[in-house]
Chains A and B, each alone.
Chain A
Amino acid sequence: MLAPMESSAPPSVIRTEGLSKRFGRLTAVSSLDLDVRPGRVFGFLGPNGAGKTTAIAMILGLLFPTSGNIQLFGMDARTNLKAALRRVGAIVENPAVYPHLTARDNLRVWGALSGGTTPARIDEVLELVGLRERAKDKPRTYSLGMKQRLGLGAALLHDPELLILDEPTNGLDPAGIREFRELFRAFARRGKTVFVSSHLLGEVQLMCDEVAIVKQGRLIAQGEVGELLRRREAFIVRTTDPAQAVSVLGSLDWVRSVSEGEQGSLLVEAPAERAAGISQALGEGGIWISELRQEEGSLEDFFLEVTGREDGAG
């Protein structure tokens, strides 16, 4: 069982401990510990087949965990799943719609299931997801992006406290992706939580406060987006003598690594405030700098680095 949260802190919206799922001999998720706090946009990243959808399906009660525990809003999901899911809106795998019903009728069906959904709320949601003009059309005539919009509409219909979205931007055009991003940020500003899996790392970097990265079912990194990017602070350095520069910089205890970059440049991993230290050390070694700039880290770089590192380790 998960230990209860301290009474002073708001309960985590999603909390998993040792969550595992095996399909026969394949381990899809392995001892996954997640802690998603309220009011955040939380990115859940990983390569294809990393176990993201499996983990989401377990959180939503569609798959039964092989082992481990799940809490939603501080409640044990095994015993309080119905009550917890009433506070959740979700899209898993792909947006599920009744193809023979219009978009409005689809929302009516989902609204009836959730209860208390008025026609005005349906109009509001159709407007919010940009389907007002196509509300009378059947989803079989929709593009994937429009189905995503309808799926999001269904998830938002009962004004949930938590949105769990599996690749919600699949099929959306760039304007649609931006629209969704702003919608999720606005949702979080209202104190609500978005848990989103995505392949679009640039988008996740812009959208999310915090991310977790999984690979082969295991959590390999988790943290604030800013903090994760700072972990990869690095400088691009060009000098008159790259070989000697590697030797000089490699001897400094605050330099994490020095590697050769493109066109004779060096990539020096070191804290951001050490630019002057690099300059000084190279100057004292009689090496002249032609370029020294801080490399701008991206979530994509970080993602590739940590997932690649895992490959190397594995």
Chain B
Amino acid sequence: MPYGLFAFAVVGVLIITLVGGYIEWDQSSDTDPYASASAYHAFVFPYSVAALVDSGQYWGSMFVGILAASVVATEYRWGTVRQVLIRGQRRTDYLAIKILAISIVSCAMLLTALALGLVISLYTTNLAGEPITLDVPGEPSVPELGLIVARGAWGIIPYGMLAVMLAVVSRSSVTAVTGIILFLFGESVVIALLDGLGGIGSLLQDISIGENVKVLIAANKIGFSEYNSMSLRAQLSPGDAPDANVAALILAAHTAVYAGVAFFFFGRRDVTG
């Protein structure tokens, strides 16, 4: 399972940087200036960092969600969760270690995919005859590039924890994986429906995971640049976006709630799987 997801991430990186970036830029530079600019910002360093993190956050959430849901629920199916607990492992320790292990594997694979994307970006930037420099409009520093990656990761965590919660509550890998995929795709639809409703609809939209991830991703933009993206969501202009710190706090609250529910259920409920 993790290897398949990793292969998926690598293919995604190649599509963003090469197909949606360099190749499209090469083909559209004389015909469509807007498409050309979006493609340019998808592969030329350092704009490519924001573009990779945008798509990486979206599909990385799916990656982590599926991995977390299947890893946690599969242990019920195999009965190994029983075997661990009857060896005297505390339930909270077991779940915490499981989440930590999923985090480490997810980080390693997503960062490897990101690194691969950056290598391709540096190569294609050079191929396009552009200088490899941070001296561009917006001028991101190296720590700011790190912050861009951190914001992307922060946007993945609530989905991962939601997947863990679904796996613990349902004790079924099929239910948990289906649930997280439906949530990821369905959330944007629901957010769109809530848009313009006002009142409670507006509040729900403001506190939804997807909307706040959108705010974080908007804060990642280098020089207000549009870029081609594989994420299935509209890009917010940084100037129109609410405070990214508030968005980060709302996402932390989501994570805390899902973790709380997962630990509560796992600690208090019979283990029958």
Q: Which A residues contact B (CB, under 8 angstroms)?
A: 57, 60-64, 81-86, 88, 90, 92-99, 110, 113-114, 154, 158
Contact = CB atoms under 8 A, between A and B. Distances in A.
B85 A96 contact: no
A217 to B, nearest CB: 16
29 contacts: A57-B270, A60-B85, A61-B86, A62-B82, A62-B270, A62-B271, A62-B272, A63-B271, A64-B268, A82-B88, A82-B89, A83-B88, A85-B88, A88-B88, A90-B86, A96-B79, A96-B80, A96-B83, A97-B78, A97-B80, A98-B78, A99-B78, A110-B83, A113-B84, A113-B87, A113-B89, A114-B87, A154-B83, A158-B87
A209 B80 CA distance: 31
A83 B87 CA distance: 10
B90 A82 contact: yes
Contacts of B83: 96, 110, 154
A86 B272 contact: no
Which 3 residue pairs are nearest across A and B when measured between Cβ atoms? A96-B79, A85-B88, A96-B83
B88 A81 contact: yes
Given A97-B78, A99-B78, A63 B88 contact: no
Given A81-B88, A84-B88, A85-B87, 5 more contacts: A62-B272, A85-B88, A86-B87, A98-B78, A114-B87
Contacts of A110: 83, 87
Nearest to B91: A61
Contacts of B268: 64
A297 to B, nearest CB: 36
Contacts, number: 57
A68 to B, nearest CB: 15
A154 B84 CA distance: 11
Contacts of A113: 84, 87, 89
A240 B78 CA distance: 64
B50 to A, nearest CB: 38
Contacts of A81: 88
Interface residue tally on B, bucketed by range: 10 to 19
- If over half of A's interface residues share one DSSP class (helix, strand or loop), that class is named, otherwise mixed; here it is loop
B85 to A, nearest CB: 6
Contacts of A88: 86, 88
Nearest to B85: A62
A63 B82 contact: no
A219 to B, nearest CB: 22
Pick the most buried of A57, A85, A96: most chain B CB atoms within 10 A of its CB.
A96
A94 B79 contact: yes
A110 B89 CA distance: 11
Interface string B257-273: 00000000000101110
Nearest to B270: A63
A85 B86 contact: yes
B43 to A, nearest CB: 38
B124 to A, nearest CB: 38
A92 B88 contact: no
Interface string B234-271: 00000000000000000000000000000000001011
Contact of A98 (B80, B85, B86): B80
Contacts of A90: 86
A98 B80 CA distance: 7
A81 B80 CA distance: 18
A76 to B, nearest CB: 15
A61 B83 CA distance: 11
Residue from B83, B84, B271 having most chain A Cβ neighbours under 10 A: B83
A60 B86 contact: yes
Nearest to A157: B87
A110 B86 CA distance: 11
B79 A64 contact: no
Contacts of A94: 79
Interface in B40-88: 78-80, 82-88
Nearest to A21: B270
B115 to A, nearest CB: 27
Interface in B80-109: 80, 82-90
Contacts of B82: 62, 92-93, 96
Contacts of A97: 78, 80
Specify which of B88, B90, B272 lies most central, judged by the most chain A CB atoms within 10 Å of its CB.
Answer: B88
B263 to A, nearest CB: 16
B78 A64 contact: no
Contacts of A57: 270-272
A192 B80 CA distance: 25
A269 B2 CA distance: 67
